[in-house]
Chains A and B, each alone.
Chain A
Amino acid sequence: MASERMNDGELVEKCKRGDSRAWKIMVARLTPQVYRLSMRMLGSGRDVEDACQEVFLRMIRSLHAFDVERPLRPWVYRIAYHVCLRKLGKMSEKMSLPTEPGQLALVQEMDRPNPEQSAASKETDKLLLDALDSLSVQDRALVELRYRAGLSENEVAEVADMPVNTVKTRLHRARARLKQKLSKIFQSETA
């Protein structure tokens, strides 16, 4: 369908006019990205769904102020990032959720499928996911935005409301930790 191939700017223009079909395309196009970031930050299914819905409702409320000349994705990621942070804050208030990386990894481990069920070829992915879980929530989000969403460091800084140098330092720290956790894979690959 031609309308599904329209660029982000055109889509935003149509959404601003309240075109419900354009919104449908927008939801289909952006939900996977919002979902991935929310998964990386929140971990559990129910909260992720709530966060995704909230992101789109916020988008409706503030889309009129969005400048079409600017890229859409960093703006959406910015909303998603802050919605997830707020959710994490509420969760930790309610049930004193562990915010330490190690503890969070334990909580998320319960939601994961049994490692025995996963295929041998997915062992590396599992190790990587575990390594990612060992990072703090914010570092995990930064890695997701930088490498999986493909944003530049400047865009990541804008999304996370942080100075670029802080983003660089955090990413450096996250990469060092990931390399440390994945040393087994690295050694076998370089050997």
Chain B
Amino acid sequence: MSIELEEMIEAYLEGGLDEEQALAFELSLSDPQTSRAFSEAIMLRDLLTHLPPDQPPWELILKIESSVQDQIKTSKAMNTRDEKTPAFRNTAIRAVLRGTGWSLRGPAMVLCGMPKVDRRIRKAVSIRTIWGSAGRLARTLGQMGQKRKRPWWKRAIERVS
């Protein structure tokens, strides 16, 4: 059977032909070869569509359900962590600024080592660099685990009262 004839039969069976084409096809069924091809196509289609369906085992559905639920929980947890809350945004901005601060210290230290730069500038830069990096770092380390100090005016009011 030619592919064209088969396509025509398929289209006819699925109602894809217009009235004129369908009529022409019906007339062509008087030809024994076309008629035979047509009945074979119907039979094959019938056999394929009426084949009993393979049902998945019930345990498989339960297994898939539980793995899907686990996956949903995991993705929900991930989404909550990455949520763009104002606090998260502020932390991110602070982190970027701090990173920029650190990156400026490198060139400053190089500048300190240059012999041609004026001694006073070098001194100022080096003090600024040490203050900016080690000083701040020391302060951060010193503050770790400590309770934040109350403002002086609060302490004064407490003493007076």
Q: Which residues of A contact B (CB under 8 A)?
A: 18, 20, 23-24, 27-28, 31-32, 35-36, 39, 49, 52-53, 56-57, 60, 124-125, 128-129, 143, 147-148, 168-169, 172, 175-176, 178-179, 182, 185-186, 189-190
CB closest residue in chain A, given B45: A147
Give Cα A17–Cα B60 distance, bound, in whole angstroms: 25
Q: Which residues of B contact A (CB under 8 A)?
A: 1, 3, 6-7, 36, 39-41, 43-45, 47-49, 51-56, 60-61, 63-65, 67-69, 71-72, 75-76
List of A residues within 8 angstroms of B76 by Cβ:
18
List of B residues within 8 angstroms of A28 by Cβ:
61, 65
Does more than half of chain B's interface fall in helix, strand or loop, or is it mixed?
helix
- Residue pairs across A and B with CB atoms within 8 Å: the count is 86
Check A18–B1 contact: CB distance below 8 A.
no
Give Cα A20–Cα B76 distance, bound, in whole angstroms: 11
List of B residues within 8 angstroms of A182 by Cβ:
44, 47
Give Cα A108–Cα B69 distance, bound, in whole angstroms: 33
Asked, given contacts A49-B63, A52-B60, whether A168 binds B7 with beta carbons under 8 Å apart, the answer is yes
Asked, given contacts A20-B72, A175-B6, whether A124 binds B47 with beta carbons under 8 Å apart, the answer is yes
List of B residues within 8 angstroms of A147 by Cβ:
45, 48-49
Give the residue of B3, B6, B54, B67 whose beta carbon is less than 8 angstroms from that of A36.
B54
Give the residue of B3, B51, B60, B75 whose beta carbon is less than 8 angstroms from that of A129.
B51
Check A128–B65 contact: CB distance below 8 A.
no
Check B48–A148 contact: CB distance below 8 A.
yes
| Shortest Cβ distance from residue A80 to the other chain B in the assembled complex, whole angstroms | 12
| Shortest Cβ distance from residue B46 to the other chain A in the assembled complex, whole angstroms | 10
Asked, given contacts A128-B47, A179-B40, whether A24 binds B65 with beta carbons under 8 Å apart, the answer is yes
List of A residues within 8 angstroms of B56 by Cβ:
31-32, 35, 52
Asked, given contacts A52-B56, A176-B1, whether A148 binds B51 with beta carbons under 8 Å apart, the answer is yes
Give Cα A60–Cα B55 distance, bound, in whole angstroms: 23
Give Cα A175–Cα B3 distance, bound, in whole angstroms: 11
Check A31–B47 contact: CB distance below 8 A.
no
Asked, given contacts A56-B67, A60-B71, A178-B44, whether A39 binds B54 with beta carbons under 8 Å apart, the answer is yes
Check A60–B54 contact: CB distance below 8 A.
no
Asked, given contacts A23-B69, A56-B67, whether A169 binds B3 with beta carbons under 8 Å apart, the answer is yes
Give Cα A56–Cα B71 distance, bound, in whole angstroms: 10
Check A27–B61 contact: CB distance below 8 A.
yes
Give Cα A32–Cα B36 distance, bound, in whole angstroms: 35
Check A32–B48 contact: CB distance below 8 A.
no
| Shortest Cβ distance from residue A83 to the other chain B in the assembled complex, whole angstroms | 13
| Shortest Cβ distance from residue B95 to the other chain A in the assembled complex, whole angstroms | 28
List of B residues within 8 angstroms of A124 by Cβ:
47
